[in-house]
Structure 1
Amino acid sequence: MHQYLFFIGSFPIRAYGLLFMLGIISAGITGYYIMKRDGRGWHVHIFDFTMYCGLSGIVGGRLWDVFFFDWAYYHNHLTEIPYVWQGGMAIQGGLLFGAIAGILYTKYHHIDTWAFADLLAPAIILGQSVGRMANLMNGDAFGHPTGGNFGIVYPDTTLAYHTYGNQPLWPAEVWEGQGDILIFVLLLFYSAFPHKKGQVFCLYVMLYAIERFFLEFLRGDYVNLTLGLKSAQMTSVIAFAIALIAFIILQWKGSRDTGDAMQK
């Protein structure tokens, strides 16, 4: 793994930044394909939507990481908060801020928010899987020591090495990326069957919350406990509960998305 891919003069091109942007682009392209196939004309919005939500997600992901994961460091290094290219992005904050931007965008353009979110959900989780490759290359979002001779040994330039040295670590970020691919497939499969508007997106939130909750037991890049759980686990529990309640309410009172070509 290489943190720096190459240099343009003295300016480094970081693997983290490149793969992070590829994750956003991958989500946008996948969303474009799904929405064009859907046939309601929403694909014309996808690139503007991706730009607004992507920028909001970067801001949210950075702020979430700074204040919920690494405040012990950043409160003494305030000027480094904007240095997003060095790594340090929390996916949950990015999703929250991105979702807020997405809701505002769909309301402004008079798009059915729930139906739009259903179509976009598989694209989002696919983009997340690419984003975890960025974490691997940057040596962050790493696991704690495996206690054996198996695991990932990170280069000495990474935060993982500075934290645990040359001990083999659980491949937490790799497994999360692989889990995201499985969620992507499950969402596409579920979308092929009749469902109420909003349920695909709720299912996405629930599945990712479950995945993240259990993988946090392997993470070793931070230890901020609340009621015996890490902050990301607490967020996952809350997100799962809200999504489950919404899923049930939509099943009871929601309307079927008759315009979804994936059900036809």
Structure 2
Amino acid sequence: MIPYVDPHSLKLGPIEPFGVFVALGIFLAARIVVKQSARQGLDPNPIHDYAPWGVGAGVVSGHLVHLLFYHPEELNKSPFQIFKVWDGLSSFGGLLGGVIAAIIYFKIRKVSFAKYADAFALGVAPGWGVARIGCFVAHDHPGVRTDFFLAVNFPAIPYGGPRHDLGMYDAILLFAITGLLFALRNTGKMQNRLLHLLAIIYACGRFFFDTLRATDLNYVDARYLGLTPAQYGCILLIVYGLWGLITKRSSQTGATPASSGSVGTAR
């Protein structure tokens, strides 16, 4: 059983460990997407330019989804709670904001997002996994009580003892998916389809993990017809992933990896 570490004991002044891991995850994701874009012979400049817009939109959307769908009761604190984007974030909300920003950005730049989709998959999975370590350190996704060997020994008050820690499970899943995606990146049949594969595998795992979320604590996620907001998001991801695997053309020959210093442009 994994010992519980009080997240407040890990603070360095105003710096929260959760924020550190989120920042590291974003940095890692951006670096990998740029590197993989160059490897595929694509111009990495659109990724550099998109990154701040994607992060900004993700933070705002992540907060709004957290506030309006997961914990609408927080609006009772103050009407200004909606502007405190640092106070509560939903990863699915962040994903939604990033996707919307990408659609708008790539459309305006007249750049094909599809050409960068594999690079995004290879970066998003490990970056998201690192951010989820922050969730584990903060213990902000407690599950139901259990004696599972990977359970965290939450304190008896107020948690009631050992529980699943879904932040850790999510991180493990995302790192496993990362290994699979990198193993398949040069496979002709999977090229141009990695993002869809990521969507399906992650959504299936996340949908299951959310069935383990605690319902007996004071601060729990809202349910709608018995499902969490993330589970509805998972259904949409599965539909998107299946659609992509069925309709997207794979590249049997694939793009020739770019040699050092040789980067083409994509339009």
TM-score by length of 2: 0.82
Aligned partner of 2:229 in structure 1 is 231
Distance 2:121 2:97 in 1: 15
Aligned partner of 1:5 in structure 2 is 11
Q: Which runs of 5+ in 2 are unaligned?
A: 259-267
Shift of 1:92: 1.1
Cα RMSD between the aligned structures?
2.7
238-247 or 111-120, which moves further after superposition? 238-247
Distance 2:189 2:257 in 1: 11
What secondary structure is seen at the aligned counterpart in 1 of 2:94? helix
2:183 is aligned with what amino acid? F
- Paired residues of 2:117 and 2:192 also in contact (CA < 8 A): yes
Distance 2:184 2:193 in 1: 9
Aligned partner of 2:262 in structure 1 is none
- Paired residues of 2:37 and 2:119 also in contact (CA < 8 A): yes
1:218 is aligned with what amino acid? L
Shift of 1:148: 7.6
Q: Which runs of 5+ in 1 are unaligned?
A: 156-160
What secondary structure is seen at the aligned counterpart in 2 of 1:144? strand
Summarize the alignment of residues 70-219 of structure 1 with structure 2, pairs less than 5 Å apart: 70-86=71-87, 88-146=88-146, 151-154=151-154, 164-195=158-189, 198-219=192-213
Shift of 1:29: 1.0
What secondary structure is seen at the aligned counterpart in 1 of 2:162? coil
Distance 1:255 1:104 in 2: 25
Structure 1's 218 and 194: CA in aligned 2 closer, same or farther, altered over 3 A?
A: same
What secondary structure is seen at the aligned counterpart in 2 of 1:229? coil
- Paired residues of 2:139 and 2:165 also in contact (CA < 8 A): no
Aligned partner of 1:240 in structure 2 is 238
1:248 is aligned with what amino acid? I
- Paired residues of 1:153 and 1:169 also in contact (CA < 8 A): yes
Distance 1:31 1:109 in 2: 18
Aligned partner of 1:158 in structure 2 is none
Aligned partner of 1:28 in structure 2 is 30
Structure 1's 176 and 20: CA in aligned 2 closer, same or farther, altered over 3 A?
A: same
Structure 1's 166 and 30: CA in aligned 2 closer, same or farther, altered over 3 A?
A: same
Distance 1:133 1:151 in 2: 15
Give yes or no for the alignment of 1:63 onto 2:64: yes
Shift of 1:240: 0.6
15-24 or 68-77, which moves further after superposition? 68-77
TM-score by length of 1: 0.83
Greater relative contact order (CA < 8 Å, ≥ 6 in sequence):
2
Shift of 1:128: 0.7
Distance 1:92 1:44 in 2: 26
Shift of 1:181: 0.6
Identity of aligned residues (%): 25
